[in-house]
Chains A and B, each alone.
Chain A
Amino acid sequence: MNINLTLIAQLITFFVFVMFCMKFVWPPIMSALEERKAKIADGLAAAEKGQHEEELAKKRAIEILKEAKDKAQDIISQADKRASEIVEESKDIARVEAERIVTAANAEIEQEAHRAREALRGQVVTLAVQGAGKVLKKEIDAKANEDLLNDLVAQL
């Protein structure tokens, strides 16, 4: 356990090793570590950005979907409205048409009745004249009794 030149030799060796480590070992490893750290940080940031963008896209997709649904709903309700309008319209038209037909029919009936009545009246006159002729056993001169007949027709 003697203190001797070994101490000096060890001291010099220490300096040499430290110098070597300082020049050729530490800087390249450290720079590689730093670079990798930066690279990883970049990658993480990019991943985060991508995630964020994906989220945004998802949100936008949902919005678009919602908009489309709303629009579809609008269109459907509008169509419904329009359909009911059309139904109402056609109902109105039908009603008017029906009324018109009814009125026309009524008028025709009236006319027909009138015509029938006129015809009946004519026949009644003829019958009355014939009946009266038979009762009187002689020919009644229609011309002679025209005034009387006309009066009778008017009473019918």
Chain B
Amino acid sequence: MASETVSSADYIKHHLTNWTYGQHPDGSWGFAHTAEEAAKMGFNAIHVDTLFWSISLGLLFLYFFHRAAKKATTGVPSGVVNFCEWIVEFIDTSVRGSFTAKNNLVAPMALTIFIWVFLMNFMDLIPVDVLPQIAAWVGSSFFGMDPHHVYFKVVPSTDPNATFGMAIAVYLIVLYYSIKIKGIGGFTAELTMQPFQSKNTAIQIIFIPVNFLLEFVSLIAKPVSLALRLFGNMYAGEMIFILIAIMFNAGLIMGIFGGFLQLGWAIFHILIITLQAFIFMTLTIVYMEMAHHDH
């Protein structure tokens, strides 16, 4: 909860600022103490909180599934193994449903995306102030930092860096397989020889730039839409949680009302975080399918 002296605008801004480590304009490396300092760092900076949570959650996912993989036998599964197998089976069904070619990468990638994105989104359900307050307390008591300048944004998928990072990774894989399967020629042809086609060579040459313009936009739209959809949904959800949290400061009645809102939104949000993880996964599978087939 924000203290009395902090205005709502500051509170929101504080919550939306990442814990940044990077190169200051004067050339030295260090943590940013304010949002402005972080902004001045430009590209040479790292969001420590985003990376910490995304990597931790990713490792958590891999740890549990790896343990399940080692324990998995043909016998009756139990506990964690059963749960992991259930998810694997679900992912496998989804992949088989929309991906028809043979590629051993697609299903594990889908599994990684689904669980990882889900876990990152899940951080949204932890009350917005809990982890930042703990971080502020740790920062001020052990490292002598100003608690107001301890930034800790716990939901990695509300950081466009994270979503774009994953979307671009997916996109690079898609491009790699597009070129590998169809060849440079096939890939270029796909970009330039459709949707407008003509038997007449002269007209076809005129069509090429038009086609390229259309196809290039749709090509670029893939990673952008993939990243922005996840980011937008999670950012909006996080923002609503922050706004609800502000109500807790506005007296008992508003606080109770806010409590109900928080509960309602959190329950609704369970659906959203799962859905967004699923959409990210499904679109990845679909893009991979498109990379493997001419259309």
**A35: interface (CB < 8 Å):** yes
**A123: interface (CB < 8 Å):** no
Query: Using Cβ atoms and an 8 Å threshold, which residues of chain A touch B105?
Result: 18, 22
Choose among A1, A6, A32, A35 the residue that contacts B165 (Cβ–Cβ < 8 A): A6
**B215: interface (CB < 8 Å):** no
Most B-side CB within 10 Å, residue of A6, A21, A22, A26? A6
Proximity string of chain A (17-32) to chain B, C-beta cutoff 8 Å, 1 when within and 0 when not: 1101110111111101
**B162: interface (CB < 8 Å):** yes
Which of chain B's residues 85-118 have a Cβ closer than 8 Å to chain A? 85, 88-89, 92, 104-105, 107-109, 111-112, 116
Query: Using Cβ atoms and an 8 Å threshold, which residues of chain B touch A29?
Result: 65, 68-69, 72, 84-85, 88
Is A6's CB under 8 angstroms from B112's CB? no
Q: A25-B69, A26-B108 are in contact. Are A20 and B62 (CB under 8 A)?
A: yes
Distance (whole angstroms) from the CB of B243 to the closest CB of chain A: 17
Is A22's CB under 8 angstroms from B108's CB? yes
Distance (whole angstroms) from the CB of A150 to the closest CB of chain B: 132
Is B74's CB under 8 angstroms from A5's CB? no
Is A15's CB under 8 angstroms from B169's CB? yes
Query: Binding site of A, secondary structure by majority: helix, strand, loop or mixed?
Result: helix
**B50: interface (CB < 8 Å):** yes
- In whole angstroms, what is the CA distance A6 to B47 when docked? 6
Query: Using Cβ atoms and an 8 Å threshold, which residues of chain B touch A5?
Result: 22, 43-46
Query: Using Cβ atoms and an 8 Å threshold, which residues of chain B touch A9?
Result: 46, 51, 165
**B266: interface (CB < 8 Å):** no
- In whole angstroms, what is the CA distance A26 to B149 when docked? 42
**B124: interface (CB < 8 Å):** no
**Interface size of A in residues (CB-CB distance below 8 Å):** 31
- In whole angstroms, what is the CA distance A9 to B85 when docked? 30
Is A4's CB under 8 angstroms from B66's CB? no
Choose among A10, A22, A39 the residue that contacts B109 (Cβ–Cβ < 8 A): A22
**A36: interface (CB < 8 Å):** yes
Query: Using Cβ atoms and an 8 Å threshold, which residues of chain B touch A7?
Result: 161-162, 164-165, 168
Is A24's CB under 8 angstroms from B16's CB? no
Q: A2-B41, A28-B69 are in contact. Are A10 and B165 (CB under 8 A)?
A: yes
